[in-house]
Amino acid sequence: MAEVVIVPTPAAGGEIVADEIVRLVRSTPTAVLGLATGSTPLPVYEALRPRLAGVDVSQVRGFALDEYVGIEPRHPESYRAVITREVVEPLGLDPDRVQVPDGSLDGIEHAGSDYEAALRTAGGVDLQILGIGTDGHIGFNEPGSSFASLTRVKTLTAQTREDNARFFDSIDQVPMHCITQGLGTILRARHLVLLAFGAGKADAVAGALEGPLSASLPGSAIQLHPHATVVVDEAAATALRFADYYRYTFANKPEWQGL
Ligand code: GLP
What CATH architecture is 3-240?
Answer: 3-Layer(aba) Sandwich (3.40)
Domain boundaries, the chain: 3-240
Torsion sign across C-alpha atoms 21, 22, 24, 29: positive
Please state whether beta strands 177-180 and 66-68 pair in parallel, antiparallel, or not at all (unpaired).
antiparallel
Distance set, CA 153 to CA 21, 109, 114 (Å): 29, 8, 13
* DSSP one-letter string for 190-217: SEEEEEE-SGGGHHHHHHHHHS---TTS
Give the closest residue to 10 by CA, choosing from 232, 194, 246, 237: 232
Q: How far is the CA of 31 from the centre of ligand 1 (A)?
A: 23
Q: How far is the CA of 255 from the centre of ligand 1 (A)?
A: 32
Q: Is the CB–ligand 1 distance for residue 38 below 6 Å?
A: yes
Report the chain's mean pLDDT, rounded to a whole number: 96
pLDDT above 90 for 73:
no
Condensed to tens digits (0 to 9), the pLDDT of residues 93-115 reads: 999 999 999 999 999 999 999 99
How much distance in Å is there from the Cα of 7 to the middle of ligand 1?
Answer: 20
pLDDT band at 1 (very low <50, low <70, confident <90, very high): confident
> Which positions are annotated as active-site residues?
66, 135, 137, 142
pLDDT tens figures, 174-189: 999 999 999 999 999 9
pTM of the model: 0.96
**Mean per-residue pLDDT, 246-252:** 95
Ligand 1 within 6 A of CB of 65: yes
